Amino acid sequence: MDELKERYIVSTMRDLANYVLKSIDHIRSDDVESMIDCLINALNHERRVLIVGVGRSGLIGKAFAVRLMHLGFKVYVIGDTIVPALRPNDILVAISGSGRTKLVIDAAEVAKSLGAKVVALTSFRDSPLAGLADVVVEIPGRLKVSSEEDYFSRQILGIYEPLSPLASLFEITAMAFLDGLIVELTHRLRKS
């Protein structure tokens, strides 16, 4: 019985790994180029990069911010205590699988009103977030959208995402995409 259970787990893990790899393969190169150009432009012109996301997407954003900081970017995460005011031509990187997370949408709306560039990472190209963005990077993974769009309301109400491994597919793919982006930026900026 234990051997059968172990074989099932290994098979399931392999299936999941293959599904994640297929998801990562779907990241478009033209989206990557647009985001790279936007970030290199920010670095070359002393522009700030602000990152916003909530929940697991926020954690992915924080990891990305640390890596950008190591490359010399002036980068901040919305919600931290030392975030400066956004200026025209700064960049907001907004991460939301659904593209409907209220806090992320609000931040994108304010950024647009100030003349900042908005880069959206989302699974839905037709989402409100994508509609606000100058650059949309479509990250596969999010299959459905919660009926409650406000992340904090969902937490208070006890409306949680499914606990299946595929519920994390957006975050896994976004992390792989952003890590790959860091490698590309490192190469293009000739940093070690």
* Pair type for strands 91-95 and 74-77: unpaired
For the record, the structure tokens of 166 come out as: 């595929």
Q: What is the 3-state secondary structure (H, E, C) of 18-51?
A: HHHHHHHHCCCHHHHHHHHHHHHHHHHCCCEEEE
Q: Which of 46, 138, 149, 171 is catalytic?
A: 171
Q: Residue 59, exposed/middle/buried by CB under 10 A (0-12, 13-18, 19+)?
A: middle
For the record, the structure tokens of 46 come out as: 């002393």
- Quick one: DSSP state of residue 167? G
- List CB contacts of 28: < 8 A, sequence separation 6 or more: 137, 138
State yes or no: is 171 an active-site residue: yes
151-163: b or e for each residue (b if 16 or more CB lie within 10 Å)? Answer: beebeeeeeeeee
Residues marked as catalytic = 171
